Amino acid sequence: MLAARYKEMLNQKSVIRDMFYFACDRVVAHGAENVFDYSIGNPSVPVPVAYNKKIAELLEGPDFITVHGYSPNLGILSVREKISSYLNKTYDMAYKADHIFMTAGAASAICHALRCVVEEGEEVIVFAPYFPEYRPYIELNGGVMRVVEPDTTAFQIDFDKLERALNEKTAAVMVNSPSNPSGAVFSEETLKKLAALLTEKQKQYGHEIFIISDEPYREIVFNGQTVPYVSKYYDNTLSCYSFSKSLSVPGDRIGYLAANPDCLDAEMIAPMCGQISRGLGHNCPTAFIQLAVGELIGTTADLSVYETNMNLLYDAFTDMGIACIRPNGTFYLFPKAPEPDAKAFCDKAKYANLIFVPGDSFGCPGYFRVSFCRDTETVKRSIPVLRDFMRKTYGI
Amino acid sequence: MLAARYKEMLNQKSVIRDMFYFACDRVVAHGAENVFDYSIGNPSVPVPVAYNKKIAELLEGPDFITVHGYSPNLGILSVREKISSYLNKTYDMAYKADHIFMTAGAASAICHALRCVVEEGEEVIVFAPYFPEYRPYIELNGGVMRVVEPDTTAFQIDFDKLERALNEKTAAVMVNSPSNPSGAVFSEETLKKLAALLTEKQKQYGHEIFIISDEPYREIVFNGQTVPYVSKYYDNTLSCYSFSKSLSVPGDRIGYLAANPDCLDAEMIAPMCGQISRGLGHNCPTAFIQLAVGELIGTTADLSVYETNMNLLYDAFTDMGIACIRPNGTFYLFPKAPEPDAKAFCDKAKYANLIFVPGDSFGCPGYFRVSFCRDTETVKRSIPVLRDFMRKTYGI
């Protein structure tokens, strides 16, 4: 028989995908130039030329076994070395290659991290608003997801609510800074307070609590700011990184898990991930893609368009009186809907060819996500349409 | 705390990897030309030029979002269509694209298949000798592995033993033809008998029993034979394919799962795999690699070297009086060791720079695996060394 659990999941719909498919239908009916699809987070800036060139070079080389042969279980050593050096230089850490495990993007890194530190039935804390895929990641890997309600004043952490959520069954806390969907970056103050609280609770409960830090947007930051590196503030941190956004290559499936060198049994994490991988069945990410990103560590696509788009849309929304925290990073805005029901708002907006995603599926009703990884000309053309829609529908 | 299950697994050793690492050490000490590493199954024939060329073309193209953007959950539709057409033409089947789910190699396809049809605690039957990774695949996805002892006369199926292993908890049977490690191909007769028995047992138990067919060696067959296509003989079959061996690209991680169009809820299998994938965290295989294999369906690397090597080694072993079934496919020989303990035999051989893997970890003690994916010159040079070792050690 088919497994009941996954059969039931077929009835679950991804609101993001639904909105995206709606946008695709609107494009057919109304023309691509008239539909403003702010639903899905597919990076929109070109892949660095050097990346494609490096892959082409590798494929042309004579050593097909290095290029197309099996990767070692934990990833290619030279690449893991380059990643650890880069992290040490950039964030003043002390990683060795041994702490790095190559993965097929952040999703894979998070699933490995969860299996590594969460036993069946233990709890994983998630701060709303959160990336909706956290729920299947956690639940399908044996954990129980516990949501901490949002701090909608600044999209930092509501520590009273966090304290009430923490308990003896807490095995891990998911952090996502810069955040999808809010665009907020956790401040140093937030991270220090979080670290102090978790350290206290570890003592109280007599066991470790890990931070699983989901960091695909680490390099997409605005106003020349830097993102405090989560692992710097708390030893028991597993950092989950993806090159999807920094290199604009989400389809290539490449990232890594970096275990803080001072975390519990730090030298065991990557080998344990190697064992976990046998059950997840994907083994390593594509070997030649590992080699290519290894050569490009620290390089990014030209990410400046995201800041340009953010400013245009932030100004437009706030000018209309729509409440919105100014994002410090990512390619998302997370404004408050002009009516209490963000789903109703998004359903109206979509017929004006403005495709947003309601915050409900991010655990934050009343807000909506604007994924502005689009070309700036499209963003500019959308603003009069947005103003027109808001005026006609909400009189603003 | 770290998950006990995976921590314990750190003590498990892969005998194949151990032998491979031993060979690497011997290469340093004795020179590459003097070490005959028959341990690991890394394809040794060059990747088709057309494959590398296709990738280079894709990367050079202007549409970076098609090439590097997210793949749809179930894989790229045009690729799934090409695969279904190819399978229909080659095996006279009636697949639609809907029955195909793109995966990161056969490992990924098998893990998805297991989660699809095996509930926690249900049993999965495996025929010895079996690929050792079947155990973590099954056990880490909630199943219980039940081994059917080998038919060492022909490496087909011992049906008496199979009947004793089948029970109400049996959810699936793993088939691997051509087989790693025996090189045997299940005959039409074997498959018909298997199908009849499983059909009878399905009725008796009142639930489906799926065949999960692991087929990475489908195209590596000898003497111009064809491999009976398992799914043709039994409707409830999920075929798990990898391009690793046919295109010589194991590091690229690309394959698929094909659900028989007449299996239970056939149209649900691929969407369920899409849900399962969210928990395994790897999502799709690399998008541009999907596109590249899509263009090359039916093409293989020049696989003829494997037959040449097989004949050389088969003749050498049998000439020495070493019992060995002539493989019909793969790049493995599975001879009977010249002493009862195959581990002891392999430990002696390795100091003569002949690196084999004992059959114990394949569930078949007393035999050893010879992985002959090496260049033919090396194979030729190994034969006098093999004869010398056998004469000195066993007087044969």
Q: pTM surpassing 0.90? A: yes
Out of A4, A69, A275, name the one closest to residue B6 (CB). Answer: A275
Q: Which of A277, A289, A373 is nearest to A331 (CA)?
A: A373
Smallest Cβ–Cβ distance between A207 and the set B1, B42, B140 belongs to: B1
Per-residue pLDDT of chain B (396 residues; tens, 9 = 90+): 899 999 999 988 788 888 988 999 999 999 999 999 999 888 889 999 999 999 999 999 888 888 999 999 899 999 999 999 999 999 999 999 999 999 999 999 999 999 999 999 999 999 999 999 999 999 999 999 999 999 999 999 999 999 999 999 999 999 999 999 999 999 999 999 999 999 999 999 999 999 999 999 999 999 999 899 999 999 999 999 999 999 999 999 999 999 999 999 999 999 999 999 998 987 789 999 999 999 999 999 999 999 999 999 999 999 999 999 999 999 999 999 999 999 999 999 999 999 999 999 999 999 999 999 999 999 999 999 999 999 999 998
pLDDT at A243: 97
Q: Which class in CATH covers the domain with range A50-295?
A: alpha beta
CB distance B119–A4 less than 8 Å?
yes
Instruction: Enumerate the residues of chain B whose CB falls inside 8 A of the CB of residue A118.
Output: 3
Instruction: Note whether B251 contacts A286, CB cutoff 8 Å.
Output: yes
* Ramachandran sector of residue A175 (left: φ over 0; alpha: ψ -120 to 50; beta: rest): beta
CA distance B249 to A44: 30
What is the pLDDT, as a whole number, of residue B281? 87
Condensed to tens digits (0 to 9), the pLDDT of residues A121-176 reads: 999 999 999 999 999 999 999 999 999 999 999 999 999 999 999 999 999 999 99
Comparing alpha-carbon positions, the chain A residue that sits nearest to B285 is A253
The residue ranges of chain A whose pLDDT is under 70 are: none
> B250 and A67 in contact by Cβ < 8 A?
no
- Contact criterion met (CB < 8 Å) for B70 and A250: yes
- Partners of A59 on chain B (C-beta within 8 Å) are 52, 55-56
Confidence (pLDDT) at A118: 97
Helix (H, G, I), strand (E, B) or coil at A305: helix
Interchain proximity B281–A44, CB inside 8 Å: no
pLDDT of residue B384: 97
CA–CA dist A49, A295 (Å, integer): 13
Taking the C-alpha atoms of residue A181 and residue A371, their distance in angstroms, rounded to an integer, is 8
Inspect the interface and report whether the beta carbons of A108 and B139 lie closer than 8 Å. no
**Residues from chain B contacting residue A374 (CB–CB below 8 Å):** none
The answer for residues whose C-beta is within 8 angstroms of residue B1's C-beta and 6 or more apart is: A117, A119, A171, A207, A208, A264
Q: Which residues of A touch B116 (CB under 8 A)?
A: 2-3, 6
What are the distances in angstroms from CA B189 to CA A212, B186, B194, B228?
Answer: 53, 8, 8, 10
**What Cα–Cα distance (Å) separates residue B30 from each residue in A32, B102, B353?**
65, 43, 9
Question: Is residue A123 exposed (0-12), middle (13-18) or buried (19+ Cβ within 10 Å)?
Answer: buried
Is A252 within 8 Å of B286 when comparing Cβ atoms?
A: yes
State the ipTM, two decimals. 0.95
| Superfamily of domain covering A4-47+302-394 | Aspartate Aminotransferase, domain 1 (3.90.1150.10)
Provide the residue ranges of all domains of chain B, joining segments of one domain with +.
4-47+302-394, 50-295
Cα separation, B343 vs B359, in Å, equals 8
Please tell me if the domain spanning A4-47+302-394 has the same topology as the one spanning A50-295: no
Of A3, A107, A275, the CB nearest to B281: A107
Q: pLDDT tens digit string along A304-362?
A: 999 999 999 999 999 999 999 999 999 999 999 999 999 999 999 999 999 999 999 99
Closest-CA residue of chain B to A207 = B1
Q: Give the pLDDT of residue A113.
A: 97
Per-residue pLDDT at A368:
98
Candidates A166, A214, A156; CA nearest to A188 is: A156
Residues of chain B positioned with their CB less than 8 A from the CB of A103: 281
